[in-house]
């Protein structure tokens, strides 16, 4: 089982390129993030177990596959993770949602928590943490630490762009957490931004700054 899966699907790659373009409008950026969220949900759920249930079609009775096993929780890291949530929920409408409010201190790049709310049965569920950007991984590690404190044991991480430094940090801090990303860029700059990257995902999505 791979620790990191790069989702090379042409639709994902095409949409990511459109998002990197600095001229992309707020509206366009938000729509693309939502669409990629849906495509990444498809990939991160690819290996969910199935079980056969008896089903009556208009013609006969058959044993047909349905998803078995743990129910899902999507856990977006605020703010930018919310941009991928609706796309993911459109594929798994019954999933629960945990919200993890974190921002990066611009000087220290450490993650500062300002909100946390998760379903009470998070320990029994498969938790998919969502954040478009995995840079230093301070935010991802803090979010997963917090979820594990609440009992979560089965956790996956989905992002749009990852820096090699972030992958290294996340896989050493949480070796049990597999990562799905649309691309791995070359490096972080001195301000902790992913290069070539796409800039500040939250600001581009909400038109702030
Ligand atoms: C961004 C991004 C991640 C974090 C990644 O959030 O959405 O959460 O930075 O960086 P890291 O891997 O170095 O922790 P930011 O703190 O800018 O907050 P925002 O989403 O509210 O804009
Ligand atoms: N957060 C972002 O939004 N972009 C980066 O490049 C790094 C962290």
Pair of tokens at residue 64: 């047909």
In a domain, 38, yes or no: yes
CATH of the domain at 184: 3.40.50.2020
In a domain, 128, yes or no: yes
Pair of tokens at residue 111: 């993650």
| 181: annotated active-site residue | no
In a domain, 53, yes or no: no
Task: Look at the chain and report how many structural domains it folds into.
Answer: 1
| 200: annotated active-site residue | yes
Distance of CA 62 to the CA centre of its chain: 36
- Ligand 2: residue of 197, 203, 207, 208 to mutate (most ligand atoms within 8 A of CB) is 197
The residue nearest atom 7 of ligand 2, judged by CA position, is 193
In a domain, 63, yes or no: no
In a domain, 59, yes or no: no
Is 133 annotated as contributing to ligand binding?
A: yes
In a domain, 123, yes or no: yes
Q: What is the pLDDT of residues 90-145, one digit of tens each?
A: 999 999 999 999 999 999 999 999 999 999 999 999 999 999 999 999 999 999 99
| 21: annotated active-site residue | no
In a domain, 56, yes or no: no
Task: Please report which confidence band the pLDDT of residue 1 belongs to, taking 50, 70 and 90 as the band edges.
Answer: confident
Q: Cis link prior to 129 (omega < 30° from 0)?
A: no
In a domain, 58, yes or no: no
Write down the pTM of the prediction. Answer: 0.97
Whether ligand 1 lies within 6 angstroms of the CB of 101 is answered as no
Looking at residue 94, its pLDDT comes to 94
Is 138 annotated as contributing to ligand binding?
A: yes
Q: What is the pLDDT of residues 48-90, one digit of tens each?
A: 999 999 999 999 999 999 999 889 999 999 999 999 999 999 9
Instruction: Give me the phi and psi of 156, to 5 degrees please.
Output: -125, 155
Give me the DSSP letters along the chain.
Answer: --SEEE---HHHHHHHHHHH-TT--HHHHHHHHHHHHHHHHHHHTTT--EEEEEEE-SS-EEEEEEE-SPPEEEEEEETTTHHHHHHHHHHSTT-EE-EEEEEE-TTT--EEEEEEE--TTGGGSEEEEE-SEESSSHHHHHHHHHHHHTT--EEEEE-SEE-HHHHHHHHHH-TT-EEEESEE-SEE-TTS-EESS-S-HHHHHHT--
| 176: annotated active-site residue | no
Domain encompassing residue 116: 4-46+71-206
Ligand nearest to the Cα of 166, by number: 1
């Amino acid at each position: 089982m791979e620790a990191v899966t790069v989702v090379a699907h042409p639709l994902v790659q095409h949409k990511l390129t459109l998002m990197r373009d600095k001229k992309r409008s707020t509206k366009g950026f938000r729509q693309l993030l939502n669409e990629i969220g849906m495509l990444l949900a498809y990939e991160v759920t690819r290996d969910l177990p199935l079980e056969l249930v008896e089903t009556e079609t208009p013609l006969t009775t058959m044993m047909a596959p349905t998803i078995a096993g743990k129910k899902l929780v999507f856990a977006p890291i605020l703010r930018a993770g919310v941009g991928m949530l609706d796309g993911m929920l459109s594929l798994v409408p019954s999933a629960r949602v945990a919200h993890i409010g974190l921002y990066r201190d611009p000087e220290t790049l450490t993650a500062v928590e300002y909100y946390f709310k998760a379903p009470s049965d998070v320990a029994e569920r498969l938790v998919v943490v969502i954040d478009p950007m995995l840079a230093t991984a301070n935010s991802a590690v803090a979010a997963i630490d917090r979820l594990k404190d609440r009992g979560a044991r089965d956790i996956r991480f989905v992002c749009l762009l990852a820096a090699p430094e972030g992958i290294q940090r996340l896989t050493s801090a949480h070796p049990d957490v597999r990562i799905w990303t649309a691309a791995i860029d070359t490096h972080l700059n001195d301000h902790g931004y992913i290069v070539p990257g796409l800039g500040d995902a939250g600001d581009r999505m909400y038109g702030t700054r």
